[in-house]
Amino acid sequence: MDQKLASLRSQIDACDTELVAILAKRNKITAQVGQIKRDSGKPVYIPEREIELLEARRSQAQAQGVSGDLVEDILRRMMRESYQNQQSELACVAPELSPAVIIGGSGVMGQLFAKQLRRSGIEVRILDKAQYESKDEILAGAKLVLVSVPINKVEAIVESLPKLDDDCLLVDITSVKEKPIKAMMTCHSGPVLGLHPMFGPDIEHWVKQTIVVCRGRGDTKTDSLLAQLTIWGTQLVEMDAKKHDEAMQIVQVMRHLTTFVYGQFLAKQTHSLKEIKSCSSPIYQLELMMVGRLFAQSPGLYSDIMLAQFDNVESLLEDYKDIYEQTLVKLKNGDKAGLIAGFSDAKSYFSDSAESFLKQSRALLNKANDSKVLD
Amino acid sequence: MDQKLASLRSQIDACDTELVAILAKRNKITAQVGQIKRDSGKPVYIPEREIELLEARRSQAQAQGVSGDLVEDILRRMMRESYQNQQSELACVAPELSPAVIIGGSGVMGQLFAKQLRRSGIEVRILDKAQYESKDEILAGAKLVLVSVPINKVEAIVESLPKLDDDCLLVDITSVKEKPIKAMMTCHSGPVLGLHPMFGPDIEHWVKQTIVVCRGRGDTKTDSLLAQLTIWGTQLVEMDAKKHDEAMQIVQVMRHLTTFVYGQFLAKQTHSLKEIKSCSSPIYQLELMMVGRLFAQSPGLYSDIMLAQFDNVESLLEDYKDIYEQTLVKLKNGDKAGLIAGFSDAKSYFSDSAESFLKQSRALLNKANDSKVLD
């Protein structure tokens, strides 16, 4: 028996060794695809190709009695690698944005943009504290100035800029948009654009990452930058600045706050995290992970973020508290009809998405289970 | 250019076609592994083998310039398939539990256990409403009786049981443990065990799934059932019933409540879900998913669950509300030191886990990005 098992395991190892060889071969091919896309000005991400490729392999798989979902999961993971491979040099469709200056270019997000612009052949100059004395020189002739500084410094830094060329595109990437755009419009007579990248500095590639676009003062340079972002594979979502800022408050402030409160609540319990985790189904473990990850940050930095966001949100906070208290009353009174009414409100808000959220989260939970290592 | 791109794409398709063939071959081998494990009484999940396999392929990958993480992610996904393959017939290490009766065996969890016991060669009889008139006959000679009924019916059903054989193991799998175990101990003089499976009926396989074990009255039959659960690959966590019930309240009741409140809060906003999603970074999208998935359920069923859980939790609810209000006061007063103190409490509660949560959630966010399909 043991011998037969050992023999089957060698056969599995042989399969997996073939797999590694295929991955190595695929890497080499996708790197060449990247070069062709760069030379021919094509975007990294071409949705039709992705869909075609997946469909073809799914039907092949089914014909051989292999699960289509298994093949799709593996291919999507391989595509992530392929997109990463393809971004070492990127097509440039906006040469008129060169030279670009990144204010705050030593910060993590500034560096991320600098790297990506350079990969597209655009000259990038960094302007951070260390270079501040030479700022006039660095900014001279700039065709794109991208402001990547902490949220509470944007306006002061924009106001302190020397006069930029009229054909220079001035852009900021902070997480609020109304005030920075207004400040940029006041100080600069040329094109102005507000961007909010919905990702952090640790992304593996730019493909399918969302960037919210709030227009300030448009011209062809704005279109050039947006075209360049599309070449990188990002998903652009145009939105009014005020609408964006309100949505951000609902999303960020409230989630920060409830997560922060929940973390403190757990800390007050007599049960250890280990005990709590043992009594958590995968979905609660995922929620616990989402709460716990917040506390990997620096307390001081995080408190600053919360304080900075806590402007004009009193009514949101009261709304939340009211609903919490109403729900408690319903629970205390055994008011099932009231609970159903509240549930139904939320259900219609999420409408069709609730089902797809359920499906997506199942896929993530399976992935989380795959990664477990037990003793 | 286009021709060269087309040629490279054919090469990629050829690689991926090889991949599908490898998966088909691997399926056949792992099915044979399953049979050998069944015949030799080996567990489906053997941690050392998993670790060795991954390490060997990671080093092979690195030698060929392929990312170790890429190979590990793909292999873990393939192992999921392999575990699924291996569970069609399972080793039996507890023949003395046959015949088994599942009370509530027509429900989804009851069916899940029935299927798994039968796969291990144990005779399973179903006792549900339809069979209630013949219950004495069905229960006669049972060596395992597993109660899988709604939480508010456990005690009544246990009390209504006819006298079971003294060597019959009586088990329940509801999400509270203290009261059901007490009821089982009162009605039955033989071995009693409380289990709480930390998974739902839609799992793809049993490997690495957690089951909390609360002991009632032990004997060798208890050990047999636990050994059988280990053969299936589950992770057993022993815990005192009272401790378990308290932890469940902290985890389930509070997360249910805050998720429920947050969903209603969102429904009250003037922003559509689409707008909110556009302004959400991947981590907030994941949180949104976790909230939204709740509302895929039936309002009536969900309200019943909340009402059933709302017993003896007033002090938890007050704790949460107090912390929420204290946090609001700190924010209003710009009390940075107070925020830092609260943050630090939670940080030390999560201690080292915060970093690993951050890492794990990053892996899940990458997976979520892989699955995106943009227009």
Query: What pLDDT sits at residue A161?
Result: 96
**Residues within 8 A of A (CB atoms), B 324-343 only:** 324-325, 327-328, 331-332, 334, 336, 339-340, 342-343
Helices (H), chain B: 2-40, 47-63, 68-86, 108-119, 135-139, 154-159, 178-187, 220-231, 241-248, 254-267, 273-278, 282-294, 299-309, 314-332, 336-350, 353-370
Q: Which of A239-243, A303-307, B246-250 has the lowest mean pLDDT?
A: A303-307
Q: Which of A136-150, A344-358, B168-182, B301-315 has the lowest mean pLDDT?
A: B301-315
Establish if A257 belongs to a structural domain: yes
Whether A230 and A106 share a structural domain? yes
Query: What pLDDT sits at residue A285?
Result: 86
> Which among A183, A215, A239 is the end of a domain?
A239
- Whether the predicted pLDDT of B374 surpasses 80: no
Nearest alpha-carbon partner for B17 in A56, A4, A109, A187: A56
Tokens of B67: 């990312």
The torsion defined by the Cα of B234, B235, B240 and B244, in degrees rounded to 10, comes to -80
What is the extent of the structural domain holding A285? 244-370
Query: What pLDDT sits at residue B309?
Result: 75
- Higher pLDDT: B212 or B358? It is B212
Task: Tell me the per-residue pLDDT of A102-124, one tens digit each, with 9 for 90 and over.
Answer: 999 999 999 999 999 999 999 99
Query: What pLDDT sits at residue A287?
Result: 87
Whether B62 and B120 share a structural domain? no
Give every CB contact of residue B345 below 8 A, 6+ residues apart in sequence: A264, A267, A268
The CATH number of whichever domain residue B309 belongs to comes to 1.10.3660.10
Mean pLDDT of chain A, nearest integer: 93
Whether A109 and A196 share a structural domain? yes
Is A152 part of the contact surface with chain B (CB cutoff 8 Å)? no
- Whether the predicted pLDDT of A280 surpasses 90: no
Q: Which of A119-133, A360-374, B110-124 has the lowest mean pLDDT?
A: A360-374
Query: What pLDDT sits at residue A126?
Result: 98
**Residues within 8 A of B (CB atoms), A 77-96 only:** 77-81
**Residues within 8 A of B (CB atoms), A 268-307 only:** 268-269, 271, 273, 275-276, 278-284, 286-290, 292-296, 299-300, 302-304, 306-307
Check A20 against B66: CB less than 8 A apart: yes
Q: Strands B192-197, A169-172: parallel, antiparallel or unpaired by DSSP?
A: unpaired
Whether A287 and A220 share a structural domain? no
> Which among A239, A255, A270 is the end of a domain?
A239
Whether B210 and B253 share a structural domain? no
Whole-number percent of chain A with pLDDT over 90: 74
The torsion defined by the Cα of B32, B36, B41 and B47, in degrees rounded to 10, comes to -60
Query: Quick one: average pLDDT of A127-141?
Result: 96
The band of B158, judged by pLDDT with boundaries at 50, 70 and 90, is very high
Task: Tell me the per-residue pLDDT of A231-262, one tens digit each, with 9 for 90 and over.
Answer: 999 999 999 999 999 998 888 888 888 899 99
Whole-number percent of chain B with pLDDT over 70: 100
Whether B265 and B295 share a structural domain? yes
- Whether the predicted pLDDT of B46 surpasses 90: yes
Collapsing DSSP to helix, strand or coil, A87 comes out as: coil
Query: Quick one: average pLDDT of B313-323?
Result: 88
Task: Tell me the per-residue pLDDT of B176-199, one tens digit each, with 9 for 90 and over.
Answer: 999 999 999 999 999 999 999 999
Query: Quick one: average pLDDT of A351-369?
Result: 86
Whether A109 and A231 share a structural domain? yes
Burial class (CB in 10 A: 0-12, 13-18, 19+), A61: buried
Closest residue to A303, CB basis, from B13, B207, B339? B339
The torsion defined by the Cα of B198, B200, B203 and B205, in degrees rounded to 10, comes to 50
Using an 8 Å CB-CB cutoff, list chain B residues near A81: 67, 70
- Higher pLDDT: A301 or B170? It is B170
Closest residue to B363, CB basis, from A23, A371, A375? A371
The band of B375, judged by pLDDT with boundaries at 50, 70 and 90, is low
The CATH number of whichever domain residue A158 belongs to comes to 3.40.50.720
The single residue listed with the structure tokens 């246990």 is: B158
Whether B6 and B119 share a structural domain? no
Whether A126 and A55 share a structural domain? no
Q: Strands B100-103, A210-217: parallel, antiparallel or unpaired by DSSP?
A: unpaired
Which ipTM value was assigned to this complex? 0.92
The band of B305, judged by pLDDT with boundaries at 50, 70 and 90, is confident
> Which among B239, B264, B288 is the end of a domain?
B239
Using an 8 Å CB-CB cutoff, list chain B residues near A66: 20, 23-24, 27
- Whether the predicted pLDDT of A375 surpasses 70: no
Check A273 against B343: CB less than 8 A apart: no
Whether A128 and A257 share a structural domain? no
Number of domains in chain A: 3
Query: Quick one: average pLDDT of B351-371?
Result: 86
Whether B33 and B64 share a structural domain? yes
Q: Which of A192-206, B116-130, B272-286 has the lowest mean pLDDT?
A: B272-286
Can you say whether the dihedral through the CA atoms of B325, B326, B329, B330 is positive or negative? negative
Q: Strands B124-127, B210-217: parallel, antiparallel or unpaired by DSSP?
A: unpaired
Check A362 against B202: CB less than 8 A apart: yes
The band of A53, judged by pLDDT with boundaries at 50, 70 and 90, is very high
- A266 contacts B314 by C-beta, under 8 angstroms: no
Query: Quick one: average pLDDT of B122-134?
Result: 96
**Residues within 8 A of A (CB atoms), B 37-66 only:** 37, 39-40, 42, 45, 47, 49-51, 53, 56-57, 60-61, 64-66
Whether B115 and B156 share a structural domain? yes
Query: What pLDDT sits at residue A227?
Result: 98
Using an 8 Å CB-CB cutoff, list chain B residues near A303: 336, 339-340, 343
Is A255 part of the contact surface with chain B (CB cutoff 8 Å)? yes
Using an 8 Å CB-CB cutoff, list chain A residues near B12: 26, 29-30, 33, 53
Is B35 part of the contact surface with chain A (CB cutoff 8 Å)? no
Burial class (CB in 10 A: 0-12, 13-18, 19+), A252: buried
Q: Which residue of chain A has the CA closest to B68? A: A20
Establish if A59 belongs to a structural domain: yes
Collapsing DSSP to helix, strand or coil, A354 comes out as: helix
Query: What pLDDT sits at residue B315?
Result: 86
Is B236 part of the contact surface with chain A (CB cutoff 8 Å)? no
- A84 contacts A204 by C-beta, under 8 angstroms: yes
Tokens of A301: 């930095």
DSSP string covering A93-139: S-GGG-SEEEETTTSHHHHHHHHHHHHTT--EEEESGGGGGGHHHHH
Whole-number percent of chain A with pLDDT over 70: 100
